[in-house]
Structure 1
Amino acid sequence: MDVQMLKGMVLFDRLPVRHAAKDKVFGEVKRSLAGAAGEKRTAELLERELDLAEKAKIFRGVWLPYMDGFAQVDVLLLHPNFICALEVKNMVGEFYFDKDNFQFYRIVDGRKEGMRNPESQLHRAVKATEKFFGFKVHGTIVMSSRSGRVAVPPKLYPVIALDYLPFHIEKMVDPLLSFDVEGLEGLVRRSRGQFNGPDLLLKHKLTRDCLEVGVRCLGCRRVMCEWRDRKWRCSYCGSISSNAHEFALQEYTILFGSELTTEFAYKWLGIKDKYVLYRLLGNCTIKSNKRGTRYIIENRSLLIDHFKEIYS
């Protein structure tokens, strides 16, 4: 799971049941999961069947700066003789690319559905990648589901069925090129610490006050835990935990970043006693030079393990 997907899952869980944005956020999470499944199949196929003299480096879910925002590259390949950005679509139906207006729709069970144009998404990804690396980049749309069929192809970029993709990529090799793959790989890895995609709260016009605060019970998933007798106790299902606050802090980190003010920590964890708060924060945060501020120690695996069980 990438950072952006985790953001969506945490945001969905933290929005009140009847909040106007909740269904939209959930729809984005479902699309992200479907996309991630397609990207995973694509990367695994390339790792297994791509026949090149030198092995390509393959990255999934890369966010790069573009204009005043970000562009997402579903799958990025770095090779000494080419660079390629893939836009992976894990969809069913018949697909129609409007070559004149650059619009896109599909037909499923006789219904016509307008959608974001994969060609436009790929074009952003290619332009962002070219600007980021300073080199020419190939672009390809990949249909990862066998239940999808292209009726009208796009204008600017090829669209390839997943099974044929390795052969398509092998044709990109240009012996006249010689890229420093290790150097490019270093740029990608550094970018992952800098660019994590759009701020979902800003995107959905939400504020912190929109979200439910408190410590979540990981048994029933409700934000119903209270700190009593040195334990977190769920008032709904009765579960007891000594470290449920650590998960809540990781939720905070994924949404807002690692910087946590003492003032907001009281509210986020639902704690009133300062001595209890300092004790709870002791092992999972570090002190800052800024008065009244701590930094949460990142442990993203807590979120990944939790949401894998829910969305598997």
Structure 2
Amino acid sequence: MIEKTREYPKEIMILEAIVRRFPPDDFKKAEFEKKLYRKRAGYKGERTLDYFLEQIDHSEMLILHDLRIPVNSTHFQIDTLILTPYFLLIIDSKNYAGTLIFLPEFNQLIRVQNDIEEVFPDPILQTKIQASQLKAFLKKHHITSPPTENLVAISNAQSIIKNPTNDKEVSYRVFRSSNVAFKIPPFYQKHTQFLLSKNDMKKIARLLIKAHESLVPDPKSMNLPFDKLITGVQCPACETFGIVYHQGKWTCKSCGQKSKDAHFQALKDYFLIYGPSITSKQFREFMKVGSPSTAKRLLASMSLTFDGTTKGRIYFPGKSFFD
């Protein structure tokens, strides 16, 4: 059973909004585009693993995706955690392209792509650290952790995996995502002692879900040129900014496309970049809507919550606004 699903990361939503509204002639835009590309690739790899996990028998396991658990003054993250009555299993997903060379002696992963070598942290070591942090977290909550196993899933089907030292642990821990159904059964043969009832597993799952804190980066710490970011509503067809609201519809002067709800994405961008609240005046200025009554009507048409009187009202995104 999947106890915690994988949500589309807020971090990616924020980067998408920033890239969408970044001045095209600003040299820093490429930096944010590169970061967005990496984050999307990572998420795609995680979803690839999820796809193959969904095809196996879940009757004896609980699956939790995308955990971020506080520890001391920081957090530890787990891509996928599988709870079984006999053991826990941490799976970290990597979606790197190119040739991947595992060098466990130095705790390194070398990626060679287009004749360029890059060094990445050893993902096997990362999962070991995550297992240790998870054990400490459970101990803090008076739960004795069952044996914890760790795997590294390579989700990019085009990547080449190399283990030049023929290290046994690399061969044991690293696999392609499509092979996950065959990597889990050996752990049941290795760990045969029944340690967790279904209620115990549910208890651990609830504890972790309650402790989970999503990563929400603060755009104010990203050194953005806020005074240069593009405002206005974007055409959903040709992506031109500054389309006009008239007679209940947004109309693009560039391609003629009409839309009733193009302002939804614009308001999402505002919340993601500028913060979790907006006034009617800020809405008018950002959307380039002149009429206060029109702004009020558009704000009322969306799933927003609000505080204050009509004149000083502040609007906030509702629970389902970003779905």
With structure 2 as the length reference, what TM-score do the two structures score?
A: 0.76
Task: Quote the residue 1:287 is aligned against.
Answer: 306
| Higher mean displacement: 3-12 or 58-67 | 58-67
Name the CA distance, whole Å, in 2 between partners of 1:253 and 1:154: 49
Name the CA distance, whole Å, in 2 between partners of 1:184 and 1:104: 32
What displacement does 1:281 show? Answer: 0.7
Name the CA distance, whole Å, in 2 between partners of 1:124 and 1:252: 37
Correspondent of 2:176 among 142, 161, 176? 161
Structure 1 counterpart of 2:321, one-letter code: N
What displacement does 1:38 show? Answer: 2.5
Q: 1:71 to 1:11 in 2, by over 3 A?
A: farther
Q: 1:21 to 1:181 in 2, by over 3 A?
A: farther
Structure 2 counterpart of 1:283, one-letter code: S
What displacement does 1:149 show? Answer: 0.9
Larger radius of gyration: 2
Q: Specify every segment of 5 or more residues in structure 1 that has no aligned partner in the other structure, as ranges.
A: 302-312
What displacement does 1:145 show? Answer: 3.3
What displacement does 1:154 show? Answer: 9.8
Q: 1:73 to 1:252 in 2, by over 3 A?
A: farther
What displacement does 1:95 show? Answer: 2.4
Name the CA distance, whole Å, in 1 between partners of 2:129 and 2:222: 22
Q: 1:162 to 1:276 in 2, by over 3 A?
A: closer
What displacement does 1:86 show? Answer: 1.4
Task: Quote the residue 1:204 is aligned against.
Answer: 222
Name the CA distance, whole Å, in 1 between partners of 2:74 and 2:152: 22
Structure 2 counterpart of 1:115, one-letter code: F
Correspondent of 1:181 among 189, 192, 201? 201
Post-superposition Cα deviations, 1:62-112, rounded to whole Å, max 9, x if no partner, equal 333355444432222222332222111123333234445534322235432
Task: Quote the residue 1:299 is aligned against.
Answer: 321
Q: 1:246 to 1:101 in 2, by over 3 A?
A: same
Structure 2 counterpart of 1:138, one-letter code: E
Structure 1 counterpart of 2:252, one-letter code: C
Q: 1:242 to 1:132 in 2, by over 3 A?
A: farther
Is the 1:94–1:151 contact (alpha carbons within 8 Å) kept by the matching residues of 2? no
Q: 1:115 to 1:62 in 2, by over 3 A?
A: same
- Helix, strand or coil: the match of 1:12? helix
Correspondent of 2:37 among 20, 30, 38? 30
What does 1:138-287 align with in structure 2 at a 5 Å threshold? 138-146=149-157, 147-152=159-164, 158-173=173-188, 174=191, 175-178=193-196, 180-190=200-210, 195-199=213-217, 201-202=219-220, 204-206=222-224, 208-255=226-273, 258-284=276-302, 285-287=304-306
Q: Percent identity?
A: 20
| Higher mean displacement: 32-41 or 119-128 | 119-128
- Helix, strand or coil: the match of 1:278? helix
Correspondent of 1:10 among 5, 11, 17? 17
What displacement does 1:125 show? Answer: 4.1
| Higher mean displacement: 153-162 or 136-145 | 153-162
What displacement does 1:218 show? Answer: 0.9
Q: 1:27 to 1:260 in 2, by over 3 A?
A: same
| Root mean square deviation, CA, Å | 3.3
Is the 1:62–1:75 contact (alpha carbons within 8 Å) kept by the matching residues of 2? yes
Is the 2:233–2:266 contact (alpha carbons within 8 Å) kept by the matching residues of 1? yes
**Is the counterpart of residue 104 in structure 1 residue 109 in structure 2?**
yes
Is the 1:64–1:128 contact (alpha carbons within 8 Å) kept by the matching residues of 2? no
Q: 1:109 to 1:276 in 2, by over 3 A?
A: closer
What displacement does 1:199 show? Answer: 0.5
Q: 1:240 to 1:167 in 2, by over 3 A?
A: closer
Q: Specify every segment of 5 or more residues in structure 2 that has no aligned partner in the other structure, as ranges.
A: 1-7, 140-144
